[in-house]
Amino acid sequence: MKKLVTLLLFIAFVSCKTDQGKPFTGDFVYYADAAVFQVGNAIHGVVLNDKVTEIANQAKAFQKEPTDMVQVEVLGELIPKGDNEEGWPYKLKINKVISVTALAQNKNDVIKLGK
């Protein structure tokens, strides 16, 4: 009887746990209805959902310009792009936002034209 109760508790525990994906840390920018996530030399498009809006709202505190990137740590999953889709080979679907911080000063250096 104890084995049966233990087995049922184990099944209940495992079935209640939701997998929110793998951890990802990188640079993020959301501008003009498009979001990009960069880790080193790899760049991924981002699936637009409520978590992207949450990051964008938190990022405003760290951005001087709307196109400035921020450092984010998220839980998510990489989804391969479809055969008929344009863009990067993978899209990142963000399931949970862990942190949003300012990018290091030397990493946000860009050349701006037209001003």
DSSP letter string, 62-92: T-SSTT--EEEEEEEEEEEPPTT--S-SEEE
pLDDT of residue 86: 85
Report d(CA 16, CA 115) in Å as an integer: 54
pLDDT of residue 1: 72
Report d(CA 46, CA 76) in Å as an integer: 10
Length of the chain: 115
pLDDT tens across the length of the chain (115 residues): 776 556 555 555 555 556 788 999 999 999 988 999 999 899 999 999 999 999 999 999 999 888 899 999 999 999 998 888 888 899 999 999 999 999 877 665 555 556 5
| Closest CA relative to residue 70, chosen from 97, 32, 33 | 97
HSE (CB half, 13 Å, CA atoms) of 5? 2
